[in-house]
A and B are shown apart, each in its own frame.
Chain A
């Protein structure tokens, strides 16, 4: 079975602070894909990143960065110098051999101006 755990339900930060969202996953598959999505108040999930299980390189995209640690089954997401527009729910997801996308419960990020 596949499982994604996002332990922090709501995180509040003051604007310009960094915030790290933890994602821990469980799978028996050797090949799998990890994703992060952002869901702003409008409701639409916005795709942020896909990472396959064989690529452990960390990635940076603007103020976003991701840290994939296969040894600890974690795929953490950091927003640097947070802005009010970053306020949203962020979902980590895993796609394994059954091709189903298993989502975590999400992290509600509130950036306070």
Chain B
């Protein structure tokens, strides 16, 4: 497998559910990212991890909880979400968190009922 993979590709959940999104990169990169893409809005950076350490939290509500157990895996744990959290959640990775281009996964299309 190559590149950045994300599972599941589609997720429907109720507001009281707990679910997790998974991202895995096979590129040997050191930085990983979560983005949120809502309709008609620019991509919003949520979290940045560099060498497994969180280096940025872009004022994301605590109902989104990231986890980075190693440089290849990134999770986004979801708990008591709101309907307005419905969006495409994209994971990306890059060689470093400064200069290099980011490579994106296919995203998880999340619908919160």
Chain A residues within CB distance 8 Å of chain B: 4, 33, 35, 37, 42-47, 50, 91, 95, 99-106
Contacts and interface: CB of A to CB of B under 8 A. Distances in A.
Given A33-B99, A37-B104, A101-B102, A43 B109 contact: yes
Consensus secondary structure, chain A interface? strand
B107 A47 contact: no
Given A44-B104, A50-B101, A104 B88 contact: no
A16 B103 CA distance: 29
Given A35-B101, A44-B107, 11 more contacts: A43-B107, A45-B104, A47-B101, A47-B104, A95-B99, A100-B56, A101-B43, A101-B45, A102-B42, A105-B40, A106-B42
Contacts of A35: 101
A105 B42 contact: yes
A101 B92 CA distance: 11
Interface string B89-113: 0101000011111111111010000
Nearest to B102: A101
Interface string B25-61: 0000000000000001111010000000000100000
Contact of A105 (B41, B97, B102): B41
Contacts of B42: 4, 102-106
Contacts of A91: 43
A100 B45 contact: yes
Contacts of A4: 42
